A and B are shown apart, each in its own frame.
Chain A
Amino acid sequence: MSERLLTVKDLRVSFMTASGEVQAVRGVDFTLDRGETLAIVGESGCGKSVTIQTVMRLNPEPPALIRGGSILYENGSVKAEITRLSDREMRAYRGKAFSMIFQDAMTSLNPTTRVGRQIVEGILHHENVSRAEAKARAIQLLGKTGLPSPESVYGCYPHTLSGGQRQRAMIALALASNPSILFADEPTTALDVTIQAQILSLMSDIQKENHMAMIFITHNLGVVAKMADRVAVMYAGQIVESGTLRDIFYTPRHPYTWGLLGSIPSLRMDLGTRLSSIPGTPPDLFAPPRGCAFAARCPYCMQACLSEDPGFYQVDAGHRARCWLLDRRCPREVEAPVGRDRTVRKAEREAE
């Protein structure tokens, strides 16, 4: 049923800086099917943006360097190993196969060029259409994003639009050549909450209509719950847990995921309960730790965690986590302190 569009295997990306090699992405695997939404969550600097920008090869190379792994893009007869393409070859894919919505539409749109022209530029680059056709299409796209008078927005400069309007224009720009995969890098972080909700529903409507695949980067778990089919939790350049939306929210298995979920307020929470935070800071990616990257901050840290990387444990079909607690030999039985299942169990216990 599902058609695979993207297969990322053991992707490693480093930044070669004057002070050394920063291992920003350290072996990331994920897949993406048509029509599916994958959310990548994690704190700032965990490598989520670098990962998707590598898929589009947007990171300037150098300093970025793909150290290893593969990114396979398949769409019908088109099959491409993205990591091996030259910049010139990449141009055909950027905007057409993949497109991206950036966080801050204010800075991501060219301030001295009319919005319409910026959209038309992309259309003309990828398709052999006349300027008038491209213009008509741009206006149609702007209308589709819910902008009230697309003809006038077409001739506007970005600074004359509101934040929400700009993000809609940005979406129109990203959709210009009907991409099969849409990346969204924190598309609603810069917007206020009511506009966030509008933009999110607009994006899922458009996704359904165009039957696109979408990768959503965010650190807002509320957004994840609303948008995602599958979730990958990233920490220090690695995916530490991935699974369906239910897996991650109901039966999370990695202590880092527990930490993330424990740090958001919930309606079921007892009054007076303090939100938990994860103590410490992420590891230095100049010299990543030998064992589990989260070990230093993990309340359940064991001897093995410090010396050896756990690797992935398959929890269920499609649900895996990178944690020693899941090993058969693990002496401790740790129950997840968060997640819906825990809440349900707690309610049951109290009922008894």
Chain B
Amino acid sequence: MSLLSSVSWKGWDSMLRYILRRFLISLATVWMIATICFFLIRMLPGNPFIVANPLDMTNAERLMDYYGLSDPLWQQYVRFLGNLVHLDFGYSLAHPGRSVNDVIIQYFPVTAQLAVQAILFGIPTGILLGILSAYRRGSGLDYGTQMLTILTTAIPSYVLAALLQLLFSVQLHWFPASGWKNFSYTILPTICLSLGLIAGYCRFMRTLMLEVGQQDYLRTAKAKGLSNIRIIVFHQIRNAILPLVTNLGLEIAGLLMGSYVIEKIFSVPGLGKYFVTSINELDYTMALGLVVFQAVVVVAANFLVDLLYGIVDPRVKVA
């Protein structure tokens, strides 16, 4: 009967405890990231008002007082943590009147849309190509995809972006070169973002398929009399795809934060730009807010992927 316990209520109990523990660890991780970044950014020389706007010193000092930046650092840190608990990232120092939350709410959906499109297109395509080139190992298709993946990995994304614009916008007039109005504007940046994904997942999946292809249980499946397609789909792909899931968390988190370069080239009003400018402008609240937001997204994505992995791979024990 002990064999049954893994599916009984006791299993769910340990599952819940696991989730709770992981959740607390995640919170601690976010807190640590926020703390480290808070002090790191304050160690940068200069202050936000001199950098952003060359005012005279008195004005700058008055603004420093106004934003509470002249208080002792520990007081500011406590205030920052207090606001963080309320999920309030404060007001931007460089763009008066705009809160960091507003910026995230306004620009994150754009970035997220691109990221989701790139993932939905790039990962399945990459996996499919990987499967095909593993299945037809040594064929023209295999060499072709291998060469393409090396090319796309080797060429920087801004070069690829410019080449895509040249081909599809300037020459063929299929898609607009830049801007953000309707779906057709999203296609080039999506392709550009997903090329890297396709290349990475294609190579990874190919390797995994070949690795699983050596396993004894495929011979068992063949000995049962199953067809090749069934063996590949139900036994080989199913086992090969598991390690990819682990990768997914970081991949999603990375994409969700947007690519400054891609967004810049295609004039996409996404979050990527603010990451870079906020640091340059020493916009403390903006930079910190975005970093903490990114930390939350990364930690949450990994948390979800770990849970997902526990479900798809029965060998992984939660708790």
- Inter-chain contact B224/A95, CB cutoff 8 Å: yes
* CB contact between B224 and one of A104, A159, A173 (< 8 Å): that residue: A173
- Inter-chain contact B242/A112, CB cutoff 8 Å: yes
Which B-chain residue is minimally distant from A97 (CB atoms)? B225
Count residues on chain A whose CB falls below 8 Å from chain B CBs.
Answer: 40
A149 at the interface (CB under 8 A from B): yes
Q: Chain A residues near B173 (CB, 8 Å)?
A: none
The CA of A58 and the CA of B312, in the complex, are separated in Å by: 29
B7 at the interface (CB under 8 A from A): yes
The stretch among B186-194, B212-220, B256-264 that forms the contact with chain A is B212-220
B78 at the interface (CB under 8 A from A): no
Q: Chain A residues near B234 (CB, 8 Å)?
A: 113, 121
Q: Chain A residues near B238 (CB, 8 Å)?
A: 110, 112-113
Nearest CB of chain A from residue B248's CB, rounded to whole Å = 17
- Inter-chain contact A102/B220, CB cutoff 8 Å: yes
Q: Please, what's the 1-or-0 string for B213-254, where 1 marks a CB less than 8 Å from any CB in chain A?
A: 001110111111111100000110011001000000000000
Cβ contacts A to B, 29 pairs, < 8 Å: A58-B223, A90-B225, A91-B227, A92-B225, A93-B225, A94-B222, A102-B220, A108-B217, A108-B219, A109-B217, A109-B220, A110-B220, A111-B217, A111-B239, A112-B242, A112-B314, A113-B234, A121-B226, A122-B224, A122-B226, A125-B225, A125-B226, A126-B225, A149-B1, A153-B3, A157-B314, A160-B3, A174-B223, A177-B225
B171 at the interface (CB under 8 A from A): no
- Inter-chain contact B3/A110, CB cutoff 8 Å: no
B313 at the interface (CB under 8 A from A): yes
* CB contact between A58 and one of B3, B219, B227 (< 8 Å): that residue: B219
Q: Please, what's the 1-or-0 string for A156-189, where 1 marks a CB less than 8 Å from any CB in chain B?
A: 1101100000000010011011000000000000
Which B-chain residue is minimally distant from A59 (CB atoms)? B219
- Inter-chain contact B225/A91, CB cutoff 8 Å: yes
A99 at the interface (CB under 8 A from B): yes
Q: Chain B residues near A311 (CB, 8 Å)?
A: none
A56 at the interface (CB under 8 A from B): yes
Tell me the chain B residues, 14-56 only, with Cβ under 8 Å from chain A: none
Instruction: For the complex of A and B, list the 10 residue pairs with the smallest distance between their C-beta atoms, beginning with the closest.
Output: A95-B225, A94-B225, A122-B224, A152-B3, A107-B216, A95-B224, A108-B216, A110-B217, A157-B314, A91-B225
Q: Chain A residues near B228 (CB, 8 Å)?
A: 87
Interface residues of A (CB under 8 A from B): 56, 58, 87-88, 90-96, 99-100, 102, 104, 107-113, 118, 121-122, 125-126, 149, 152-153, 155-157, 159-160, 170, 173-174, 176-177
B315 at the interface (CB under 8 A from A): yes
The CA of A43 and the CA of B51, in the complex, are separated in Å by: 79
* CB contact between A110 and one of B4, B227, B235, B313 (< 8 Å): that residue: B235
The CA of A122 and the CA of B228, in the complex, are separated in Å by: 14
Nearest CB of chain B from residue A280's CB, rounded to whole Å = 31
Which A-chain residue is minimally distant from B217 (CB atoms)? A110
Q: Chain A residues near B226 (CB, 8 Å)?
A: 91, 121-122, 125
The CA of A111 and the CA of B218, in the complex, are separated in Å by: 11
| Residue among A110, A153, A155, A176 with the highest chain B CB neighbour number at 10 A | A110
Q: Chain A residues near B235 (CB, 8 Å)?
A: 110, 113
The CA of A122 and the CA of B223, in the complex, are separated in Å by: 9
Q: Chain B residues near A109 (CB, 8 Å)?
A: 217, 220
B6 at the interface (CB under 8 A from A): yes
* CB contact between B6 and one of A95, A102, A160, A174 (< 8 Å): that residue: A160
Contact A176-B222, Cβ < 8 Å, known A110-B235, A112-B239 = no
Contact A155-B223, Cβ < 8 Å, known A110-B235, A112-B239 = no
Nearest CB of chain A from residue B47's CB, rounded to whole Å = 57
- Inter-chain contact A102/B216, CB cutoff 8 Å: yes
